[in-house]
Amino acid sequence: MTDARRHVPRTDVVLADPRLAEAIRALGRTAVKATIVATQQRVRAGEVHPESLVDVVLSALPEHATTLRRVVNATGVIVHTNLGRAPLSAAARDALDVAAGTTDVEFDLATGERARRGRGALAALANAVPDAGAVHVVNNNAAALLLTALTLAPGAEIVLSRGEFVEIGDGFRIPELLAASGARLREVGTTNRTTLRDYQAAIGPDTGFVLKIHPSNFVVSGFTASVGVRELATLDVPLVVDIGSGLLAPHPLLPDEPDAASTLRAGATLVTASGDKLLGGPQAGLLFGSSEVVERVRRHPAARAMRVDKLTLAALEATLRGPTPPVRAALDAAEDELRIRAEKVAAGLAGSGVDAEAVRCRSAVGGGGAPEVELPSWGVAVPAAWGQRLRVGTPPVVGRVHGHRCVLDLRTVDPAEDATLAVAVTAVAGVAGVAGVADGSSHPPAPNRAGAPGPR
């Protein structure tokens, strides 16, 4: 009897199979060929029958031509750095699709001449913070600070409170970032107390600017003292304030989180912030300030190295002009609405024999912002052992484990994803389906573009 493993279809023959045509169009010939070769090895090992090769290839192909995977954030951390910080709004995603092609990002269609790059996004940002004389956008907030130091303090001193020598994600420290510009750091005050006199004593002919950094990812309490923006603005030097989280105007739930508008009104010369945190947009460094200073920053030679691309500009403009972004929606979600959703999802799961219940929980802002703020929330609790299984499922669902339960906090789950969440839990539980979730129905994952099973 002939061994079926000897009849491995040739690679070119498999590539020509019409069932793979759509996958080749969507994912590219190289990716499909690599999957074919890997599957051929499985045929030779006796794991796959030769006649099933194409079906196995289809099931093994990724949904998209990227290794990144869409994740359902059920952690309750609204701005989760490890999950990409702010999820973009539908309007911003549509804007990315427009920007992905040929666009007028730096071209005036009426005159046929060169135009200000990203003028639409800059106008939207200026409209959002009318207290700013001018605005500028770079690729992240660290770049905004570095560019500011290069512009305002080349070879000079930056005066900074010792209590604001902060470390941001992945071990990056603000003092080291600033020192990389060639500026010298002049520490004032102590870890827990800094006064206006400390700043006054440090300012001299070598002072480039005073920098105030909001310690957004930690809180120092007890015997403490710091100097506010309004007081620092009385010093006869430029005042740069890094507010960090990108809040453009005050928010009632975040009374201690500084915002760009209030900081400028208090007298700051220049304000820097992130675009992918509380603003809810793409990664970007935002600069607001006087026209003269912002123009100097914009014209610095290093500004070119920190320029944002057309995709960022498009997504930022759509975030500012479009509907409420997901971050703001999650922040403002009412506790009663979250309870109703949690009870509905849990009831649907329990009705199908899944060990699940609606529970109260606490959400966090995340992204290095508002570290002491806890938001009352509701989620769905399942066995703790399911946490890991949910993370490696399709789509991955990331919750948080407390004791013997894994809590799926719905504050950070888009209501449109409730049914997807339920299907993911059902798959882990090993039951057939879930009734009465979200729109009242349960559907298996739709096939992806390559023909393999998986949610869209």
DSSP state of 285: E
Give CA 250 to chain center in angstroms: 21
365/287 same-domain check:
no
* pTM given for the model: 0.86
**Contact (CB, 8 A) for 78 and 411:** yes
Is residue 224 in some structural domain? yes
55/77 same-domain check:
no
Domain CATH for 374: 3.90.1150.180
147/55 same-domain check:
no
Task: Give CA torsion, residues 316, 322, 323, 328, to 10 deg.
Answer: 20
C-alpha distances out from residue 207 to 155, 162, 198, 260, Å: 10, 16, 14, 24
CB atoms near residue 309 (< 10 Å): 12
278/425 same-domain check:
no
Final residue belonging to a domain, choices 298, 323, 348? 323
Is residue 120 in some structural domain? yes
246/333 same-domain check:
no
Instruction: Count how many Cα atoms sit within 13 Å of the Cα of residue 378 in the half-sphere of its side chain.
Output: 19
Is residue 204 in some structural domain? yes
282/359 same-domain check:
no
- Render 6-29 in DSSP notation, one character per residue: G-PPPHHHHHT-GGGHHHHHHH-H
Distance separating alpha carbons of residues 359 and 118, to the nearest angstrom: 46
| Side chain identity, residue 92 | A
21/118 same-domain check:
no
**Contact (CB, 8 A) for 197 and 170:** no
C-alpha distances out from residue 375 to 42, 89, 218, 363, Å: 50, 22, 17, 5
DSSP state of 45: T
350/293 same-domain check:
no
15/163 same-domain check:
no
Task: Give CA torsion, residues 341, 345, 351, 352, to 10 deg.
Answer: 170
Is residue 188 in some structural domain? yes
Final residue belonging to a domain, choices 295, 323, 351? 323
Tens digits of pLDDT across the chain (456 residues): 456 556 888 999 999 999 999 999 999 999 999 999 999 999 999 999 999 999 999 999 988 888 889 999 999 999 999 999 999 999 999 999 999 999 999 999 999 999 999 999 999 999 999 999 999 999 999 999 999 999 999 999 999 998 877 766 666 788 888 888 999 999 998 878 889 999 999 999 999 999 999 875 566 666 777 889 999 999 999 999 999 888 999 999 998 899 999 999 999 999 999 999 999 999 999 999 999 999 999 999 999 999 999 999 999 999 999 999 999 999 999 999 999 999 999 999 999 899 999 999 999 998 877 777 899 999 999 999 999 999 999 889 999 998 899 999 999 999 999 999 999 999 999 864 554 554 443 333 333 333 333 322
C-alpha distances out from residue 76 to 79, 120, 357, 409, Å: 9, 33, 17, 5
Is residue 215 in some structural domain? yes
319/378 same-domain check:
no
Task: Note the maximum CA span of the chain.
Answer: 94
**Which of helix, strand or coil describes residue 208?**
strand
| Closest C-alpha among 190, 230, 183, 239 to residue 211 | 239
Domain CATH for 178: 3.40.640.10
Look up the domain containing 358 and give its range.
72-84+328-429
Instruction: Count how many Cα atoms sit within 13 Å of the Cα of residue 316 in the half-sphere of its side chain.
Output: 32
What is the tally of structural domains in the chain? 3
Is residue 196 in some structural domain? yes
- pLDDT at position 453: 30
- pLDDT at position 434: 54
Beta-sheet pairing, 400-402 with 405-409 = antiparallel
Is residue 441 in some structural domain? no
Is residue 316 in some structural domain? yes
- pLDDT at position 407: 97
Final residue belonging to a domain, choices 323, 357, 388? 323
332/319 same-domain check:
no
319/355 same-domain check:
no
